[in-house]
Chains A and B, each alone.
Chain A
Amino acid sequence: MKSNDVILQTVANIVLFIILMFSVFLFFNGHHEPGGGFIGGLMTSSALVLLLLAYDLETVKRILPVDFKLVTAAGLLVAVGTGMGSFFFGAPFLSQTYDYFHFPVLGELELATALIFDVGVYLVVVGITLTIIQTIGEDR
């Protein structure tokens, strides 16, 4: 039986970008309010799961040709790298710092090195959840 999923695919094409923007918002919100790398990564992977539901496994692999095991490895490398980076300044492992910078449009912003550790957490969560889902979804 040939089925027609035009409503689901049209809705998924629009909602995908809303969910991705929400995940980026949660990721950058995590320093002072609820949010952070873990929930941001889960929202990004749920957006890609919606894409997997609306289309199929090979289409998603074609439009997003990323090996998610490598994403997990890159995230772990970033997280360890922020820990090791504090050695260059004579500080203990995983110690963090922050400073205020001035940007042309955004104004004064507080940038912390904990954000780079959060990038590592984000990449690990996205990589692991999508590796699990793609591995289970392959029925052969």
Chain B
Amino acid sequence: MIQGLLTVSAVILSLSILLALYRVAKGPSMPDRVLALDMIGINLISLVAVVSLIQETTAYLEVFLLLGILAFIGTVALSKFIEKGVVIERRRD
């Protein structure tokens, strides 16, 4: 019962990642793609959580925090590149 529910939710999360991938490929502007990549990162966290429940292990617990931090830093870097043209400034005015 629980295993079936977890499998169904994993399939739904995979479908959501696929829809976000369509937005990454099609998206007319650059911010659309950045937001879709951020959404893929958040969905991956949920998918890893569901997979760790299916396999009944706690070995993936660090992966959630790691994916959250990396998705945040990647999104901030891409947004800064879109807004200012440089990722790391030499001297802020």
Contacts and interface: CB of A to CB of B under 8 A. Distances in A.
B18 interface: no
A57 B76 CA distance: 16
Interface stretch (A69-77, A87-95, A104-112, A132-140): A132-140
B83 A53 contact: no
A32 to B, nearest CB: 11
Interface residues of B, number: 21
A46 B19 CA distance: 29
Interface string B70-85: 1011001100100110
B87 interface: yes
A99 interface: no
Contacts of B86: 139
B26 interface: no
Interface residues of A, number: 28
Given A53-B76, A53-B80, A139 B59 contact: no
Interface stretch (B5-13, B27-35, B37-45, B61-69): B61-69
Contacts, number: 53
B91 A3 contact: no
A2 interface: yes
Contact of A43 (B69, B84, B89, B91): B69
Interface of A: 2-3, 8, 15, 19, 22, 26, 29, 33-35, 39, 43, 46, 49-50, 52-53, 55-59, 133, 137-140
Given A50-B73, A56-B89, A56-B91, 8 more contacts: A3-B84, A22-B69, A33-B59, A43-B69, A53-B80, A56-B88, A57-B88, A58-B91
